[in-house]
Amino acid sequence: MVKLAELRRELRPTLTLAFPIVVGQVSQMLIGLTDSAFIGRVGKVELAAAAFTQGVFNIFYIVGLGLLLGAGVFAARDHGAGDDAACAAWLRHGRALALGAGWVAFAGMLFLSTQLHRFGQPAEVVAIVRPFYLLIAGSIVFALFFQVQRQFAESLGRPWVPMGIMLADVGLNALFNWMFVFGHLGFPALGLVGSGWATLLARFSAVAALGLWLQMSPTFAVVRSAPWSGWERARFAALLKLGVPAAGMLLFEGGAFVATALMMGWLGTVPLAAHQIAIGCASLAFMFPLGLSLAVSMRISRAGGEGRTAALRPIGFGALLTGLVIMLGFALAFALAGRAITAAFTPAADVAALAAQLLVVAAFFQLFDGGQVISVGALRGLHDVRVPTVITFIAYWVISLPLGYWLAFHTSLGAVGLWTGLAAGLGSAALLLGWRFHRLTSPPRA
């Protein structure tokens, strides 16, 4: 058991690091919700097209994000050990990996843009989606490069400026949407395509602002003095050794959500549009435990570098309990105010009503969603990624998707059945991953 005093002692620095990370993650989600709010005013077919595009984008983005997680984890460890030169080297190698992953992801999305008709989506969605899809695909290079720089800053205990940049980016994205979607300040009304341009320009602006800060801040003088050459194969190998399984975990989980979005398209335009609204709300709630998860990864890795092995368990379980309390609040909001929430996104009554039903299901899986992502972050801080990868595969692709498919297409539940399958997968993952962290951090028996 973990003593209450130990939980309190370790929880304060975790929350100090997590708060700006959470705000930054929420800012990223607000960009997507802002896009949905503007596109929802254009039409439900356009909203469905945005949902489909975001589903495909997320597959490539989460794989790239997983590949890059090692840069922050290893930089936090070496910062704890007092080796700032090694931290700079992790940033240099992480940036190179981000560029490579970003261009490969863009090439993959570019190829798929010629195959969109094969995904079984409504014909009216396929007819309008490609220009918007290509703009979102182009933004992935900026999105991944931003993330590796942001995680590096956070790993050195400097999360506040990245948070401010992401908050400013929300306002900038909203301004661009207002200008390009509806045609203001002399710009033509581009509708769905205008939202794609807004996202592309906002992501580029964020990368430029964060890179400029890293080059100018006295805190990162070691980064500026570090050479741009001298690549070390061992560092790339270490990044991939941690990053590939982490990418696999994110792929299995994110892929389940993307597969759910595709199956929503099989049910029709209204279910797909409703899914876009509901998943946006659930994803916004998810940003809170995700921020805790990222903070826990860095704190546990840093504690390992400092040799404070006794702190690992209080750090992990303190964050886990905090995350469960936060997600309970969101569960109550979704269950009690779902109709009011969804009505704010679209004037289409059929879409809003179905989205509200999905939020009721989301209310049930909020605790599981928070528990599983924080447990994953704690295990990543221990550099334990292989067994969690197997756990996530079983939870989402052996339990979640088959169950959701059966409930959606072989019962009367439809869209609600798909989300019920997601809830079952998240519950399985939360229990197994939490048990894994408990087992690895339990003190040896006398």
- Report yes or no: 372 and 400 within 8 Å, Cβ to Cβ: no
- 3-state SS assignment for residue 28: helix
Q: Which amino acid is at 264?
A: M
Helix (H) or strand (E) holding 118: none
Q: Cα(52)–Cα(281) distance, rounded to whole angstroms?
A: 16
* CB contact set of 444 (below 8 Å; sequence gap of 6+): none
Dist. CA 71–CA 52, nearest whole Å: 31
Q: How confident is the model at residue 35 (pLDDT cuts 50, 70, 90)?
A: confident
Instruction: Report in angstroms the alpha-carbon separations of 180 from 31, 171, 198, 333, 347.
Output: 15, 14, 7, 33, 21
pLDDT higher for 413 or 115?
413
Asked whether the predicted pLDDT for residue 57 surpasses 90, the reply is: no
Q: Over the stretch 280-290, which tens digit does the pLDDT of each residue have?
A: 788 778 888 88
Mean pLDDT of the chain: 84
Do 297 and 378 meet the contact criterion of CB atoms below 8 Å apart? yes
Give the pLDDT confidence score for residue 39 in this predicted structure.
82
Quick one: tokens of 445? 């028996």
CA–CA gap between residue 72 and residue 332 (Å, rounded): 34
Mean pLDDT, residues 254-268: 83
**Residue partners of 99: CB distance under 8 A and separation at least 6:** 141, 145
pLDDT average, residue stretch 254-277? 83
> Model-level pTM?
0.75
How far does CA 421 lie from the centroid of its chain? 20
Tens-place pLDDT, residues 299-346: 888 887 777 877 888 888 888 889 889 999 999 999 888 888 888 877
Q: How confident is the model at residue 58 (pLDDT cuts 50, 70, 90)?
A: confident
pLDDT of 390 reads: 92
pLDDT exceeds 90 at position 432: yes
Query: Which pLDDT does position 329 carry in this prediction?
Result: 92
The DSSP code for 412 is: S
Distance CA 39, CA 276 (A): 11
Instruction: Grade residue 163 by pLDDT with cuts at 50, 70 and 90.
Output: confident
How many residues are given for the chain? 446
DSSP 326-374: HHHHHHHHHHHHHHHHHHTT-S-HHHHHHHHHHHHHHHHHHHHHHHHHH
Question: Rounded CA gap, 413 and 400, in Å?
Answer: 15
